Amino acid sequence: MADYDGITEREEGKKKIPLGMLILFWGLVVSGLLYLYLFTPLFSGWTQVGRYEKKMQSQSDAEAPAVQKKTVTAAVVSNKERAKRGKEIYDAMCAMCHGENLEGGAGSALTGPTFQYGDSLQDHIRVITKGTPKGMPGFESSLGPEKVRNVSLYIHSQH
């Protein structure tokens, strides 16, 4: 205690800082510096954008194979299934002219290998949709694009 003109003051200067406070102080200084170092783009290269992109990338990497597999199998199954449905349409609406087994009759044979109007799936779709001037009726309005595609897939699967 010091006594100045009758006023007594505690001598704060000589008091020791409690150990816990020292540890807390230096701990905060160190973690603050560490934080500055780690999250300053200039020092560590860290950026919000980089982190976002990395996250998105790893997400799409994880999903990509599953998504791809799903669509590929779906496409295979559905084309087979479509051709099967196409055969039912063929039997009902085309066989009377093109024959039970596509061997031809009033209409041309559809077994290939050569086709007057082309042998690709797109060619079949076009001819079946629009018809031809020489006796092949167009099926655009009676079947619609889905069924035309199915029956085209059936014919295409037979040559």
Q: Which residues bind ligand HEC (CB under 6 A)?
A: 90, 93-94, 96-98, 106-108, 110, 115-117, 124, 127-128, 132, 134-137, 139, 151, 155
Residue whose CB is less far from ligand HEC, 79 or 117? 117
Cβ proximity of 125 and 152 under 8 Å: yes
Through-space distance between the first and last CA atoms of the chain, rounded to whole angstroms: 111
Least gap, CB of 81 to ligand HEC (angstroms): 18
| HEC letters along 24-71 | HHHHHHHHHHHHHHHCCHHHHCCCHHHHHHHHHHHHHHHHHHHHHHHH
Least gap, CB of 121 to ligand HEC (angstroms): 10
Residue whose CB is less far from ligand HEC, 82 or 108? 108
Residue whose CB is less far from ligand HEC, 40 or 142? 142
